[in-house]
Amino acid sequence: MFLNRIAALLFSVTTFTCFSQNTAVIKDTLTLHTLDEIVVTATRTMRQLSTVPMPVILISKKQIQNTGTTRLKEILLEQTGINFATDQSGFTGVQMQGLSSEYVMVMIDGVPVIGRSSGNLDLNRITVNNIKQIEVVKGPTSSLYGSEALGGVINIITEHLEKDTSKGDIRYFTRVGSRNELDLNTNFLFRKDKLSLVAGINLNSSGGFDLSPETVVKTTEAYQNYTGNLKVSYDFSKKLTLVASQRYFYEEQAERNFQRDWNSNIELRHKMNNIWDFEYTFYTTKFKTESQFNSEVAVFNQTLTRPEIRATANFKNSTVISGIGINFDALGRTFFGKKETFNSKYIFSQFDFHPIERMNVVVGARFDSHNKYKSAFSPKIASTYKINDWIQAKASVGYGFKAPDFRQLFFNFNNAAGGYVVLGTQTLHNLYGSAPNVQATSKDLKPENAIGYNFGLEIKPIANLKIHTNIFRNDIKDLINTVALPGGVADLGPTTAVFYYENRDQVFTQGIEFDINYKFSENVRFTGGYQYLEAKDKEDIRKIEAGTIFLRRTPNSPSEILKKEAYFGLSNRSKHTANAKLFYTNLKHNFSANIRAIYRSKYALFDTNNSQNIIDRYDDFVAGNTQVNVSIQKTFFGIMNLQFGIDNIGNEKGLKNKNKFQNTDAVLFLGRSFYTSVRFNL
Amino acid sequence: MRNLKSIIGIAFIGLLAGACNNNEEIVLEPVALKSVINIHAPLTTDYSVNPPSESGDFTKFSLRLGTVVSNDLWDIAFRGTSIIVNGGSEIGLTDEPMRTGNGALALETGTFGSIVEAPMSTAFKQDATDTYALTKGSGNGWYTYNRQTNQISPIAGKVIVVKTNDGHYAKIEIISYYKDNDASKAENGRYYSFNYVYNPNTGDNKLE
């Protein structure tokens, strides 16, 4: 407690000077890094975790290593309020505050990862090797990051060296049991004087697995992938630093699906004087897949290029950060007529100040102007107020948006056998714009947009106990849905169903989350988290209130009216999710162990009782489930670390869901698996 | 002849009075809930042409008899997910039966029990050139089609009120599109099971 306060004091003294100045100050920053938890994502400035006025989760390297995880998805799954959902397209993505993957931006060092499948970003693509920490900001963050940051952002912070170093490690990880996996890492970290180098290679492979051997299709086909990353930074002077980061990922699956993604971020940091810092970044990323299905090759090739300039002004009691940039986004894809491009210019600014000593206010806004859809303005205000020595209140309100994606505008997908076509709005109007029923639809899509409210308390009643609560509400409107075009299109015949995209739905998500962190002793620490969530569709509620929705309790029962109290909410949302983790560390013997339990209550996949896609309590649900993971590790001679772990020790496979959802692997879980890893620190 | 007319006239007035007074002399036949299962409604689809063409005989159903019929005294007929009514004119489909009656249908929203009488005549529609009395397509009429499971499900709360070819009223709630209500196999498709209430009293719009 006392220590924390000292750290806070130290921090507030150094925070506004740490960017510039001289070596002495840089040293201070270093001690702070080790003393307390510094995050950068929520405000784009370095902040101590507990002072940030938005709900933030920080996952440290230590936690990543202790839990024996290899991919980003696995470690996120164990955090409060973060779930993974497989939607009807069959792709899996992250879910935060009840918002699905397409509304969560995933970044590496502050620049976005691209390449989504039906809005879902595959987080198994990202290795946790060479990560310093992961920062998760919940709630709309579009005021800083623009489109996609509607529900929040996940930012992976890679290793960064500030003092002379020369070290490396090699890790060999194998998993057997319900799935096999091999994960090899090697990292090299070096800094001497002005030059710093962080390099890593990761190889990850698996023979795949099949949760339903009775079906033809395997759940996950065998794959192998490689990730290489290299970050070079050079200090031209105390005021000028150049950082160049490269990452390359290649995956081959089942000898017919290939995926490559590559990103390069070049950043020039210029500390002009005590007040002004300038950062010039040039980011390019490319994501390409080739997948073979029924002897046809489908190609998806997306690129994003983003020059951005940011200026930070550090005043005595406030910080101003402003930025300007352009996104050049392009996608060439099978099912598109031609390669399509987007470009959007944006400008943002944020003012961070202390109107009174106990209070910190962060006000920001961003304007995105786009060539293919309507512009978006995203303001946000957040503040903290220190009620007393041990209670701090945090509140924030912000706008978030998600731009229509390429698919929603340019898709041209014809499933002749299935008797339907899916057309982006622009494609629909370009091809069939003369038809009256097409003219009745909107050609322009609006960005999906939301207002998010977060109110939290951070309580430290005693020195070794921290409690954090947060109440949230997100009101999202203009959600883009696939809608059937009434009457179809004459050219395609009356029997072909025509689907297109339209801004239609209004939904809300709300809930409360609790986090508790209790240190029993120097050796034993407990953390627990819980989230209660409601996610509902406003139009569905109106229909239910009007008494126009009916259901059948069993497939053969007569219809009955769906009553409001029987309405469950959106698919793939669990009302209750919880995690409990116990960590034991024995410093004397370099030994540590942990047990972690993750619970998720029942959730629906889709409407199963013909109530117009509305999920009610009589629908079929995926049963609630708990997964328990354990891991132990010991370091020998200071250089060799041995780890052994069991994931899903209770062998929870979700078999009881099998009868309700046939041929749906998403309702089944991987059974027990065992892993060992050995790491040499050199 | 004059006598006969007056007799009919008197009888008619008596009938009206009887109906109004709920006179026991006029015995209305009871309106009963019935159900039929596994009415096969096959369909042939030719995917070699674009758009695919549909053909095959419609399965004609008489609500009075409660069975499939092969004559012209049918009320509604099924082929795949298409439902046509014996009233109006031909839509223009291959293998489409002639309309010989003056039937019509109305798609009502409510529980089966809550539809206690036929709606006003304006709600009823007949087949016409290029127009189905019961709109086709997922979510437009009586069913939804799930693209993931490829299943056809009757929308809950949709009741088809039918005016039969000879002017009786009936209501239908489709329960299943699959043989023995087993939707797990695609080949079970195109078998209708439905509950219906048929009012055997001509022109009486009561449906319970």
Q: Which two tokens stand for residue A338?
A: 């031609």
Spatial contact of A102 and A120, defined as CB atoms under 8 Å apart: yes
Contact B176 A556 (CB under 8 A): yes
B155: chain A residues, CB-CB within 8 Å: 550, 610, 612
Give the mean pLDDT of chain B. Answer: 85
Residues whose CB falls within 8 Å of the CB of residue B149, separated by 6 or more in sequence, listed in order: none
pLDDT tens for residues B114-150? 999 999 989 999 999 989 999 988 888 899 887 767 8
Tokens 């996949």 sit on residue: A605
Residue B208 pLDDT exceeds 90: no
Fold for the domain defined by A5-14+39-521: Maltoporin; Chain A (2.40.170)
pLDDT, residue B26, reads: 57
Spatial contact of B143 and A538, defined as CB atoms under 8 Å apart: no
Selecting from A416, A552, A559 the residue whose C-beta is nearest the C-beta of B47 gives A416
B156: chain A residues, CB-CB within 8 Å: 549-552, 559-560, 609-612
Nearest CA in chain A to B37: A556
CA–CA gap between residue B17 and residue B29 (Å, rounded) = 18
CA–CA gap between residue A623 and residue A625 (Å, rounded) = 6
CA–CA gap between residue A383 and residue A152 (Å, rounded) = 17
Three-state secondary structure readout of A630-652 = EEEEEEECCCEEEEEEEECCCCC
Q: Does the CA dihedral B101-B107-B108-B114 come out positive or negative?
A: positive
CA distance from start to end of chain A: 35
B154: chain A residues, CB-CB within 8 Å: 610
User: B25 has which bridge partners?
Assistant: none
B140: chain A residues, CB-CB within 8 Å: 484, 486
pLDDT, residue B11, reads: 53
pLDDT, residue B10, reads: 56
Average pLDDT over residues B190-203: 93
Where in chain A are the domains? Answer: 5-14+39-521, 522-681
Distance from CA of A88 to the nearest CA of B (A): 7
**Residue B75 DSSP symbol:** S
Mark which residues 63-92 of B lie under 8 Å from A by CB: none
pLDDT, residue B4, reads: 57
pLDDT, residue A36, reads: 65
Tabulate helix, strand, coil % of chain A (nearest 5): 15, 55, 35
- A634: closest CA among A573, A582, A584, A590? A590
Q: Does the CA dihedral A344-A331-A156-A514 come out positive or negative?
A: positive
Selecting from B112, B136, B156 the residue whose C-beta is nearest the C-beta of A610 gives B156
Instruction: Report chain A residues touching chain B, CB-CB < 8 A.
Output: 88, 416-420, 484, 486, 488, 492-497, 548-552, 555-556, 558-561, 606, 609-613, 662
Residue B170 pLDDT exceeds 70: yes
Three-state secondary-structure class, residue A11: helix
CA–CA gap between residue B200 and residue A624 (Å, rounded) = 51
pLDDT, residue B185, reads: 85
Contact A559 B144 (CB under 8 A): no
Q: Which of A491, A492, A554, A559 should be substituted to probe chain B, the one whose Cβ sees the most B Cβ atoms within 10 Å?
A: A559
CA–CA gap between residue B64 and residue B166 (Å, rounded) = 10
Three-state secondary structure readout of A336-379 = ECCCEEEEEEEEEEEEEECCCCCEEEEEEEEEEEECCCCCEEEE
CA–CA gap between residue A227 and residue A70 (Å, rounded) = 12
> Is this complex's ipTM strictly greater than 0.95?
no
Selecting from A558, A606, A611 the residue whose C-beta is nearest the C-beta of B111 gives A558
CA distance from start to end of chain B: 39
Spatial contact of B77 and B58, defined as CB atoms under 8 Å apart: yes
Nearest CA in chain B to A659: B184
pLDDT, residue A666, reads: 87
Backbone angles phi, psi at B184, to 5 degrees: -70, -25
Distance from CA of B43 to the nearest CA of A (A): 13
pLDDT, residue A275, reads: 95
Please state whether beta strands A152-158 and A104-108 pair in parallel, antiparallel, or not at all (unpaired): parallel
A488: chain B residues, CB-CB within 8 Å: 137
pLDDT, residue B7, reads: 59
Distance from CA of A661 to the nearest CA of B (A): 10
Tokens 């003219």 sit on residue: A439
Please tell me the number of Cα atoms within 13 Å of A494 on its side-chain side: 12
pLDDT tens for residues A98-121? 999 999 999 999 999 999 988 899
Regions of chain A short of the pLDDT cut 70: 1-36, 494-495
CA–CA gap between residue A503 and residue A63 (Å, rounded) = 41
pLDDT, residue A27, reads: 36
A556: chain B residues, CB-CB within 8 Å: 175-176, 181, 193
Q: Which of A495, A548, A616 should be substituted to probe chain B, the one whose Cβ sees the most B Cβ atoms within 10 Å?
A: A495
Distances (CA, A) of A643 to A182, A185, A315, A646: 14, 15, 47, 10
Spatial contact of A238 and A273, defined as CB atoms under 8 Å apart: no
Contact B111 A559 (CB under 8 A): yes
Where in chain B are the domains? Answer: 1-28, 31-198
